[in-house]
Structure 1
């Protein structure tokens, strides 16, 4: 996400860094280029102009011209203003009510139904909520079925009334059902609607009035660009929503909506969707997003995702096996599956400072582990537990069984051996260091 904008901004700062002397003229020239970069990324014109005017005033006010490292100070000012532009602070949901009610709104195809399930899954695991999904899209027959399938996948009940076309009464009945069944979170998925469709807008206003939601979220496809901002304004005028959800930020999007929407509607972006998997949902952190736009990575989010998949008992068990040189293909497979749960591989790699730019043109498929898994699954349980058994004939059989070549099997076994040696060496060095500390 934001790859083109990141590249353009980097070029803009090079103008400044390449100058022997920093002057008001080349600061203005750099910011002119920054403004062009923002406009090309589909940022609202007024927002882009106001942004660069503010940066210029702050840059000259902080004596960038006489600073020891003017280029770096300029990057810091732009970073801080980008974060402020996107809201400054991370905005959370208001879940104080019992049951808390979240009403989803937005255009058709923006990803409301999938996002409803993602949010239910996230709040169930992270906040120990007992959610109920409510199917209020009575116009698209597949929407109810889609929500039911998603509900089964995340083990969350779905309230439906297949024979009713009254979305208002379905929503009201669902809230009563949640209260009767001691469910403390209700997520209402509504039909996609255009702001110009008066009848549909009246319907969602009636739902809001009837169930009095704690939160109204406006879900918007980031790929719609500047239109997303205009639509958000129209919906906000009617619903006065609490926050915005940007979906499909993993796609080929210019990202301008994220930078404009906060200023235009004065409502925070609360969540982003970063892929198709039900785990691909994140809180929107303005400062971290500014880091990523400026090519600084996002280590904090990467660590948080890793911690979500981290099992302390499993880690201790694994450490003992590594120390005894007993790390096997079952453990290797388990580690791969944990990495996959963390989300889109290219998105994860781009969180490492400097890597985002390096892999910009690479196509990192989410199925990158597919052949490795196929090879391991083609091994017998005994072979997985005892990698040293893998002689030539066994490797031939595994290649045939996994639909891969003998070269791929050999490569994996070699990489596995190297990984095992490296892990053991790290564990031994760590143990030696700890003994040294204890002696002191």
Structure 2
């Protein structure tokens, strides 16, 4: 359904990962799926740099002979591999057994930690987004916060892997992060590590006729879960919906295939995304099939600075195909695809193999998706209308000649809180959907 003729096992079993750094949701790859010549072909044409290899061997010998403490060959070689990957781009990395296992656990939606997706900015660790219902989100950590210290130790100069390792630990142990928000003064947040169980899709009816789906990250089964959420919303509403909000805010990304499946639930034709890379199997095209799980319902998509990669694929496809209105603020701007290549001894390489492009040929890399309507975060303050006095309150007032009950003033207390009551962006999205419903006569 979603597979183009060019979609090979590389994308399916080698998990093309497009999430935020070190917060990936990728399906473990199978070594047999990678032809040995595919990866080595580009470098096989050039002769080995003998002079540089001699220098490498000499440096290794000097360290072993002169470093203040003994260092074994295995440690030196593993450090060399890590350095080789870490200097390519922020998203390529060497995954040791623990890191590789954590990546596989994140695919299943359960892993240990604080619930923070992170990246690098000016040598500091930057929060891409907190994950819903985790210690990080409950502590009030926000997308864009800089983590300048971990338990009092500065993060500047550390690699992202080192910083993430320090934030991980035993479940229940407390950790203090020193944060800087919007260039302000540093402040401390203390939180306890927990087992992070991420439910990638949440849905509910906002009002009669208007549904809401939030995707927290793109896991292997997210596309299937969105399909079920759409079916449940139709059932709960009892008829075709008049509008839907798709919330991708603070969604750091995940598995490419899941992003394609989600976009396909709202599209009936045309390109969803395509990728370009150096190796043949990294050039893929994904198109929509004619089925429409959303039944063409008017759509508003919410994005912000924490919406990265897979979120940007979905938002970009829906924007280019004019399937929905994008609302919020500019997205994160990660337009590269990572492929997980398993090695021996439960290790793997995670390397950037391609860039992805929206249907209209836009690269999101380092630019992001610009919403159709910019709506920034704001606090909602409800004003009381109880002091208003209406005609229907007057004793002996005339009735309505056309029939119908009188509508006097009165307190409307006891109403159940709704998500849009204290979420300005969501409130604006719902208002837009109502306007579209009126103008389109639905």
TM-score by length of 2: 0.23
Higher strand share: 2
TM-score by length of 1: 0.23
